[in-house]
Structure 1
Amino acid sequence: MPKVRDLMTRRVECIGADETLEVAARRLRDLDVGALPVLAPDGDLAGMLTDRDIVIRGIAEGSDARSERVGAIAARPPVTIDPEATIENAIALMEGRRVRRLPVIQEGRLVGILAQADVARYYATYRVGELIAFISQ
């Protein structure tokens, strides 16, 4: 069974905690992603920001997207996982904490992100391979 490190995305786009919600929304749009890890000024992971956070915890609460800072609404502390964890552990953590993405932390640093889509792609490929092997018998 694969480990988180086998399925995670290694090039992770992030946003600074001091950026505005407007900048964050544009970055999410431009990257075509639904979430970004939030970094503190020292480079440590400070939280996770989703497009839903911007709408529900920001705009709907009356925040001005041009002045409200990402750090004020980002989910903290972020739910993280180790790259050596199994995919089963990652799935259980996602289900238990109701998150779709897990920042992957090794020795205190962000080294990747594991999304539900990464897990789904693996299982889709795995099942297709299993089916082909069965048919080929």
Structure 2
Amino acid sequence: MTVAKEIMHPGAQWISRDVTLDEAARLMRELNVGALPVADENERLCGIVTDRDIVVKCVADRRDPATCTAAELCEGTPRWIDANADVEEVLHEMENHRIKRLPVIENKRLVGIITEADLAQHLTDDQIAEFAEMVYARK
């Protein structure tokens, strides 16, 4: 049985809720990633900020990324998966919530993140097709 920690991209990094979006963008560039999980003061997942969020919800609205924080962009209930969850649970979570990035948690700590690229490397063509249909085509 394949589990989440076997297909995840290891070494994901948190940012704090109070990190400004210009700082988040610089870190994304440095890490060569398009999303960063956001943690609260207790180091609990409270959301994810993407490069698209920064552009669409901050820059395009003429907000200042030097003063706008990650907390201001976090919306909804954050989704995550346990490191030992099987791949079917991973797909279920991502498909049902139509998400493209899923933080992986072990012992209440972030250990990685599963992205579409990770799925493409580890799943069958049929599983990938089902994921794409559920996340992109479903209304």
Superposition TM-score, scaled by structure 2 size = 0.79
Q: Which runs of 5+ in 1 are unaligned?
A: 125-137
- Tell whether the 8 Å contact from 1:45 to 1:109 is kept in structure 2 after alignment: no
Please list the CA deviations of residues 52-90 of structure 1 after superposition, one character each: whole Å capped at 9, or x if unmatched: 111122222332111011111024421111122211221
> Per the alignment, in what secondary structure is the counterpart of residue 41 of structure 2?
coil
Where in structure 1 do 4 or more consecutive aligned residues deviate above 3 Å?
none
1:50 and 2:45 are equivalent in the alignment: no
Structure number having the greater helix percentage = 1
Equivalent position of 1:133 in the other structure: none
**SS across alignment from 2:88:** helix
Larger Rg: 1
Find the counterpart in structure 1 of residue 91 from structure 2: 91
Unaligned 5+ segments in structure 2 are 125-139
- Contact 2:13/2:110 (<8 A) preserved: no
CA distance in 1, matches of 2:77, 2:61: 21
In the alignment, which residue of structure 1 is the partner of 2:119? 119
How many residues are treated as equivalent by the alignment?
124
Contact kept? 2:21, 2:70, Cα under 8 Å? yes
C-alpha displacement of 1:118: 1.1
**How does the TM-score come out when normalised to structure 1?**
0.80
Query: What's the CA shift for 1:25?
Result: 1.1
1:17 maps to: 17
Q: Distance in 2 between matches of 1:17 and 1:5?
A: 25
- Aligned residue number for residue 67 of structure 1: 67
The answer to whether the Cα contact below 8 Å between 1:49 and 1:75 also exists between their aligned partners in 2 is no
